[in-house]
Amino acid sequence: MIEIIFKMFKSLFFFIVSIFKRALCCFRRRKRVNEFVPLTQVGVISEKSIPNEMDSWNDWNEPVATPSTPTTVQEQIEYYRQQAIAARQVKEEPQETQENFFEDMMPTITAQTKVYINPNVTQSETSNKFSLAPENINVMSKELEEWDDERGWEDQTLDIDAREALKESRREARQKKAWEQQQRRQEKLTRGTLGAKVYA
């Protein structure tokens, strides 16, 4: 009961919040898909600045568009200042040392140790691993020996008797269940025939 009331309050709360969000969204201006952003800067690239593509590979940091020559005195002063600032920045930039990232991956080469085997080994010194040696053969004697069997026949008979008793009890339980089921079936059949006689 409490869960149902809680779910009702929860759904009511979310409904009120969604209505409030829709009311606030009408004041918000949506962007239209067909609107476009106008270009603010246009750069003109002269063809003289790129005479050969191979030269441009070395000048990646330089601007592509070449500024026009200044005509007024104020433009010339501004152009000179920009050139002076660019020259100072080039001087102030420290040259980056190229790090060798693969230095620790270089393999260390060590000379392998050499093992010399004397070829003057005679046949008698070497032994055949697969040869049959008489001292390795276990020979059984012809006489009977005594077994050290501490466990007697009585332990085995007790195990067998316990198993037989367990099997017997299970069999009796199955027979009892089958007899009870047979009795229930007979009662159902007799009840069905009695009811049929009354209604007929």
Non-local CB neighbours of 49 within 8 Å, separated by 6+ positions: 64, 65, 66
Domains of the chain, residue spans: 176-200
pLDDT in tens, 25-45: 766 666 565 666 665 665 656
Three-state DSSP state, 69: coil
Element (H, E) at 181: helix 153-199
What residue type is 185 in one-letter code? R
pLDDT in tens, 51-91: 555 555 666 665 555 556 777 888 889 999 988 998 888 77
> How far, CA to CA in Å, does 150 sit from each of 51, 145, 146, 162?
107, 15, 12, 21
